[in-house]
């Protein structure tokens, strides 16, 4: 059975002018796309196969990510159903030189594991085998509400 910590992924993107809106900050649609991509990777790692986006909870934009900054996207599976996978997603603005980061965006996505025909398939049970995994899961459940 996959462990929560094994699903924890991070990806970084340098925000370029083509990623920006008229305020020279990352366009919200790009941030959501980056989150969806990393969330899908976390869910596929958990399920061991293809997954598709089924639901996006609210997306809370707390601060912008400027052109030239790094968008750091963090995702992990914190709960699973029969075919569904709940993923916590957070985006951070990271200074590429100093590494300082601030949370910019948060959401919760639901993915569904599918077979080659696009039909839902069962997923394994999620295990939480470490203190770190328990802290991540507890944080996701508390902040989801």
Which residue segment(s) compose the domain that 9 sits in? 4-144
* Number of domains composing the chain: 1
* CATH code of the domain in which 111 resides: 3.10.129.10
pTM over 0.75: yes
Token pair of 89 as six digits: 């997603």
| pLDDT tens series, the chain, 145 aa | 789 999 999 999 999 999 999 999 999 999 999 999 999 999 999 999 999 999 998 999 999 999 999 999 999 999 999 999 999 999 999 998 998 999 999 999 999 999 999 999 999 999 999 999 999 999 999 987 6
Angle among Cα 13, 38, 95 to the nearest 5 degrees reads 30
Question: Looking at residue 130, what DSSP letter applies?
Answer: S
């Amino acid at each position: 059975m996959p462990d929560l910590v094994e699903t924890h992924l991070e990806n970084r993107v340098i925000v370029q002018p083509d990623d920006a809106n008229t305020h020279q900050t990352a366009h919200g649609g790009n941030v959501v796309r980056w989150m969806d991509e990393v969330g899908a990777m976390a869910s596929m790692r958990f399920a061991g196969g293809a997954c598709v986006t089924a639901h996006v909870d609210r997306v809370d934009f707390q601060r912008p990510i400027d052109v030239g900054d790094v968008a750091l996207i963090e995702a992990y599976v914190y709960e699973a159903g029969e075919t569904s996978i709940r993923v916590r997603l957070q985006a951070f603005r990271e200074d590429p030189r100093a590494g300082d980061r601030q949370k910019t965006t948060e959401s919760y996505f639901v993915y569904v594991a599918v077979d080659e025909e696009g039909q839902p398939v069962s997923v394994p049970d999620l295990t939480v085998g470490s203190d770190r995994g328990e802290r991540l899961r507890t944080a996701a459940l508390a902040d989801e509400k």
